Amino acid sequence: MTAASELQTTLGAMWGSRDPQPDLLDLVRRTPSGSPLLLVDGKRREARSGARFENVDPTTERVMGTTADAGPDDVEEAIAAARRAFDETSWSTDHAFRRRCLEQLHAGLARAADELRATAVWEVGAALRTTFAFHSDFALDLLPWFAELAETYAYDTVLPDQPWAAGTRRMLAREPVGVVAAITPWNFPLYTAMTKIAPALAAGNTAILKPAPQTPWHATLLARVVAEETDIPAGVLNIVPTSDNQVAELLTTDPRVDLVHFTGSTAVGRRIIANSAERIGRVALELGGKSANILLDDAPIADLVPVAAGMVCWSAGQGCVLPTRLLVPESRYDEAVELATAAYHAIPYGDPREPAVVQGPQISAAQRERVLSFIAKGREEGATLLAGGGVPADQQTGFFVEPTLFGDVARDATIAQQEIFGPVLCLMSYRDEDDAVALANNTAYGLAGSVFSGNPDRALSVARRVRSGMMSVNGGFFYARDLPVGGYKQSGLGHECGVLGFEEFLETKAIAIGS
Contact 460, 450 (CB under 8 A): no
Band of pLDDT at residue 3, cut at 50, 70 and 90: very low
Q: What is the pLDDT of residues 418-459, one digit of tens each?
A: 999 999 999 999 999 999 999 999 999 999 999 999 999 999
Active site residue 497: no
First-residue to last-residue Cα distance in the chain:
77
Provide the 10 A C-beta neighbour count for residue 67.
28
Q: What is the pLDDT of residues 120-179, one digit of tens each?
A: 999 999 999 999 999 999 999 999 999 999 999 999 999 988 877 667 889 999 999 999
Looking at the predicted structure, is the pLDDT value of residue 279 above 90? no
Whole-prediction pTM value? 0.95
Q: What is the pLDDT of residues 5-46, one digit of tens each?
A: 454 455 555 556 678 888 888 999 987 878 899 999 999 999
The H-or-E segment that residue 15 falls in is helix 3-15
**CA atoms in the 13 A half-sphere facing the CB of 193:** 30
Q: How far is CA 27 from CA 20, 23, 113, in A?
A: 11, 6, 12
Residue 325, judged by CB atoms within 10 A of its CB (0-12, 13-18, 19+), counts as buried
Q: Which one is catalytic: 77, 115, 123, 286?
A: 286
Contact 159, 515 (CB under 8 A): no
**Residue 395 DSSP code:** -
* Single-letter code of the amino acid located at 185: P
Q: What is the pLDDT of residues 333-344, one digit of tens each?
A: 999 999 999 999
Backbone angles phi, psi at 496, to 5 degrees: -120, 150
Backbone angles phi, psi at 263, to 5 degrees: -125, 130
Q: Which one is catalytic: 320, 496, 497, 504?
A: 320
Q: Please state the separation of Cα 127 from the chain's center in Å.
A: 16
List, in order of start, the domains of the chain with CATH numbers: 31-287+491-514 (3.40.605.10), 292-480 (3.40.309.10)
- For the chain, give the mean pLDDT: 94
The H-or-E segment that residue 171 falls in is strand 168-176
The pLDDT value given to residue 99: 98
The H-or-E segment that residue 200 falls in is helix 189-202
Active site residue 503: no
Give SS3 for 350.
coil
Ramachandran class of 34: left when φ > 0, alpha when ψ lies in -120 to 50, beta otherwise: left
Residues 6+ apart with CB under 8 A from 58: 123, 124, 125, 360, 361, 362, 363, 364, 398, 399
Q: Check the CA dihedral 482-422-344-433 and report its sign.
A: negative
| DSSP states along 312-345 | TTGGGG--TTS--EEEEEGGGHHHHHHHHHHHHH
Provide the 10 A C-beta neighbour count for residue 489.
17
CA distance linking residue 4 with residue 335, whole number of Å: 19
